[in-house]
């Protein structure tokens, strides 16, 4: 049936079902809308898949899927990539000696809205990019390629994100300050603080799910040590925020409930 399953998600956890649903949607639906990819758009797509291969902590069959797609894209040297050819290359291969599978169903768990038009994909996409910035900070030299993941996200959003207005807002924020990020840890904080800026702008608006009000995140009950007061004014305790983000967006915090 079309009825959404009754799900009780824990907001302190990440769910693989959300991550894989968002990956499936971004790769096979959103990025495959144009009749062909070329130029900067094709480059943005290749860059996104390459970052996923490096930093997405997927299940073995999903890792294989991403690696296979990445290898295939690297071999595609013609200026144009027709959608039908790309879609064929993005099909699952269950029969290979090491299966390459990204599930094709969309199930929102932590990202499930109280109604169908709330949350879902945009929530999943934020989660993927937070996870990637954190994995890049954990697994690479702090001062090397600090913008690797953020510029991948900037290109993805600019060229593919279906919400045009969102993409314009995000590009404006990126143009203003992204270039000043000088380490991988700063990249983690940049995405966190700008996501909070978006939350503040959208709080109380009509895209807000009434059951999931936009908060400055993480709220005090999730991370008391992230908050402090300076002369009566709320402030973030940034070292504690970094520690919290590294634990929250870690493979150990990804749960398999509802994953296919």
Residue closest to ligand FAD when measured from CB atoms: 166
Element (H, E) at 234: strand 233-236
Min separation Cβ 69 and ligand FAD, Å? 22
Min separation Cβ 201 and ligand FAD, Å? 7
**Is the CB of residue 27 less than 8 Å from the CB of residue 128?**
no
The values of phi and psi at residue 94, to 5°, are: -80, -20
Min separation Cβ 205 and ligand FAD, Å? 6
Q: d(Cα 247, Cα 35) in Å, to the nearest integer? A: 40
3-state secondary structure of 119: strand
Residues that bind ligand FAD (CB under 6 A): 11, 111, 119, 122-123, 125-127, 130, 157, 163, 165-166, 169-170, 192, 195-196, 198-199, 202, 207, 209, 212, 217
Which of these, 100, 67, 60, lies nearest to 256 by C-alpha position?
60
Task: State the Rg of the chain over Cα.
Answer: 18
Q: Is 62 exposed, middle or buried (0-12, 13-18, 19+ CB in 10 A)?
A: buried
Based on CB atoms, which residue is closest to ligand FAD, 170 or 258?
170
Based on CB atoms, which residue is closest to ligand FAD, 91 or 201?
201
Min separation Cβ 100 and ligand FAD, Å? 27
Min separation Cβ 42 and ligand FAD, Å? 21
Q: d(Cα 141, Cα 176) in Å, to the nearest integer? A: 25
Q: d(Cα 121, Cα 129) in Å, to the nearest integer? A: 12
Which of these, 147, 126, 122, lies nearest to 136 by C-alpha position?
147
Based on CB atoms, which residue is closest to ligand FAD, 54 or 195?
195
Max distance between CA atoms of the chain, in angstroms, equals 63
Min separation Cβ 225 and ligand FAD, Å? 16
Q: d(Cα 112, Cα 105) in Å, to the nearest integer? A: 14
Based on CB atoms, which residue is closest to ligand FAD, 81 or 153?
153
Based on CB atoms, which residue is closest to ligand FAD, 81 or 188?
188
Based on CB atoms, which residue is closest to ligand FAD, 83 or 246?
246
Based on CB atoms, which residue is closest to ligand FAD, 40 or 200?
200
Min separation Cβ 74 and ligand FAD, Å? 27
**Is the CB of residue 133 less than 8 Å from the CB of residue 242?**
no
């Amino acid at each position: 049936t079309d009825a959404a399953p009754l799900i009780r998600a824990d907001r302190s956890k990440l769910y693989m079902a959300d991550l894989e649903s968002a990956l499936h949607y971004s790769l096979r639906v959103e990025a495959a809308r144009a009749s062909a990819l070329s130029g900067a758009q094709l480059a943005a797509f290749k860059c996104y898949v390459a970052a996923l291969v490096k930093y997405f902590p997927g299940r073995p069959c999903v890792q294989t899927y991403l690696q296979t797609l990445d290898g295939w894209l690297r071999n595609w040297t013609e200026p144009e990539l027709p959608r039908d050819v790309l879609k064929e290359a993005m099909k699952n291969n269950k029969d290979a000696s090491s299966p390459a599978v990204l599930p094709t169903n969309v199930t929102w768990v932590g990202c499930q809205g109280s109604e169908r038009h709330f949350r879902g994909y945009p929530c999943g996409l934020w989660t993927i990019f937070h996870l990637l910035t954190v994995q890049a900070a954990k697994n690479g030299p702090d001062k090397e390629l600090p913008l690797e993941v953020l510029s991948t996200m900037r290109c993805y959003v600019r060229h593919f994100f279906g919400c045009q207005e969102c993409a314009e807002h995000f590009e404006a924020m990126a143009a203003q300050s992204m270039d000043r990020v000088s380490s991988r840890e700063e990249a983690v904080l940049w995405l966190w603080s700008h996501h909070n800026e978006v939350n503040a702008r959208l709080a109380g608006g009509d895209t807000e799910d009434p059951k999931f009000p936009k908060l400055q995140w993480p709220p005090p009950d999730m991370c008391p040590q992230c908050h402090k007061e300076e002369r009566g004014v709320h402030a973030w305790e940034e070292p504690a925020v970094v520690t919290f983000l590294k634990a929250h967006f870690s493979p150990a915090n990804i749960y398999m409930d509802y994953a296919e």
